[in-house]
A and B are shown apart, each in its own frame.
Chain A
Amino acid sequence: MTLHSHTPKNQDSSTKHVSRAAHFKMLDVILKRHQYRQDALIEILHQVQDLFGYLETDLLRYIAQCLRLPLSRVYGVATFYHLFSLAPRGTHRCVVCTGTACYVKGAAALLTTVEQFAHIHAGETTPDHCLSVSTTRCPGTCGLAPIVVFDDQVCGYQTPNSVRDRLKPLLKQT
């Protein structure tokens, strides 16, 4: 999951039309900007994921080659951190905060509502790639607890009903 405000969803849809070759060109720019430094691996993976949506094995192989790192190391890092995804994610994202403040204010019920409504569990994507559901441990806006993040937008004071209303239009689109 990601909460990057600088990658709004309209960017996702516009980059879709860009060809794969162009994406790879941008990947090279990213690598060059980081001067192929091995310690910049995590920064590079962040930017590549923003670009491609997720980290395919081929991409990891390419990055490993360019940074002169063993693939095992790149794969190890990509799988260690929660924010990196090795599988394609849905067009829309619903992230339920399960931080302490949200938890004492009923985050568990919200998560159950989302899971039942979308018929998937946290960490999964609907078969039509419309929606990904995940959890996060606190983006730090506890004043608005319980919160749910829909497509990078933090929504506060959520209830099972408000969550359902928000999800309906997201699930309809394909």
Chain B
Amino acid sequence: MAKAAAAKSKPSVSAESPRTGDNSVTPEQLRQFYRDMLLIRRFEERAGQLYGMGLIGGFCHLYIGQEAVVVGMQSTIDSSKDAVLTSYRDHGHMLACGMDPRGVMAELTGRSGGYSRGKGGSMHMFSKERNFYGGHGIVGAQVPIGTGLAFARKYRGENSVSLTYFGDGSANQGQVYEAMNMAALWKLPVVYIIENNKYGMGTSVERASAVVDLYKHGQSFGIPGEQVDGMDVIAVKAAGERAVEHGRAGKGPYVLEMLTYRYRGHSMSDPGKYRSKEEVEKMRGERDPIERLKKRMTETKAIDEARLKALDAEVRRIVADAAEFATTSPEPDPKELWTDVLVESKPAQAA
């Protein structure tokens, strides 16, 4: 494995997302995408409200606007074996992975019913059952870990891949490139998904990256890359299928740059001075992934008004239930402070 030469084939780097026809997606899949994106949207709106009410402490990074990326990508993998991990803007990824909205919301409120029993908070949640490996608060630190997860899968001879998400901000971290080199050197089945929402906190890509076409960032390692309309769930799915197939075929890593946009601030305390209101409104009005899909489904009669309403009601019910759970789940047991530090956790202070 270690001796495997770097990919010999010339990297195909393309800004064109070859559009697979919409007929590759069934009406049922479209409705599922719509429902999954809507769940993330409504969940995040509710999280924002709970934050405003003081029920969520600390940091909270909402995924509103970017829903098509995770929902489209998740449809390309086998969640029973493929790994997913991301940075701190992670609620959407967890919901897309099929994690229980109750457990996610309760981690936001720091309750014992949260996925990490209140030890992690918004940025640090995991689910072994759903192959979700976090939730990482250090920008870019998840990228070598996702690469190692791909190594372990290949080492064990499993035909599974690692979806390793990061943002345009992470795309300038050194460890990302150490990991990319190793992934290409060892031909690891990892898909690097760069969610380019144009701003690393308050710094635009133009002010941070010498090469702003982030799909080219794997070029020097021979990693193919493509730029994808990340506001179009069907385009995401089509590109994701190519990338995942590349990994499963043993051809090594792949870079997908998802052009996307977050409507809300970087976190809850973001004054938003680095971009105009018009820019946000334009994206929301013209490119919104949920509205676009809704329009497409209505036009192709993939859904009618009654079903839209039913989906909407279902999602609202799930989110209300999650919020109810997250605000009534007990606070963590005081003893939890000292558990899960080491395998036999018993620091002197806890004795």
Do A and B form a real pair?
no
